Amino acid sequence: MIGINRIKMKTKIIHLPQHLIRTNVIVEVTGNGLRRSQTFFAHQLTVHIAESVGIVRVAQKQTKRPLAGVYVKVYCRYKGKKGAEFWKDGYTGLNGAFDYVSVTEGNALVGKDRFSSDQKSLSDVIKDIAGFSILFLSEQDGAVVKEAYPPS
C-alpha cells in the first residue's frame, strides 16, 4: 500500500497596488517549477448562466438590476478541435437576458450548407460543441468572460 503524507497548506496574501484595484490584470504565480496565471477583470457585472436552456442574464452587481444593452460575443469550441470559432453576438434585452445558443437558419454553421445540399439543424450542430466562451462588455460596468456548456 502506498502511503500519502499530509500536506500542510499555507496561504499567502499579496495585496494589489492601489492603482491596479479597478483595472483588468493577469496574475502570474511561479514556484516549485510551476507557472500558473489567471485573468481578473475589473467589473460590476453579475452573470447568471442557465446552461439547460442556453440563456444568460446580466445584472449590475450592487443593485442586482438587469442590465439592458450589454454587448455579448460568443465563441464555440468544437469537440476534438483546437481553438474557437465565432458563434454569434448581440446585446442583452430590457430584462438583461441573451440567448447565447440560438442562431438564425441563414447562419454559416446552421441551416443549408451553401457548398452542398446537406441540411444541418441547430441540435445537430450543438452535439459537436464542447463549450462556449462568452464575453460580456458594458461601458459603465466593465467586462468579463465566462465559460458555458451547450444545452444537453
Q: Cell digits for 135?
A: 464575453
Q: How far is CA 60 from CA 48, 106, 143, in A?
A: 11, 34, 12
pLDDT in tens, 48-73: 999 999 999 999 999 999 999 999 99
Residue ranges of the domains in the chain?
43-148
As its CATH architecture, domain 43-148 has: Sandwich (2.60)
What is the DSSP code string of 62-100? TT--B-TT-EEEEEEEETT--S-EEEEEEE--TTSEEES
pLDDT higher for 120 or 38? 38
Q: Cell digits for 17?
A: 497596488
pLDDT in tens, 12-54: 888 888 888 778 889 898 988 899 988 888 899 999 999 999 9
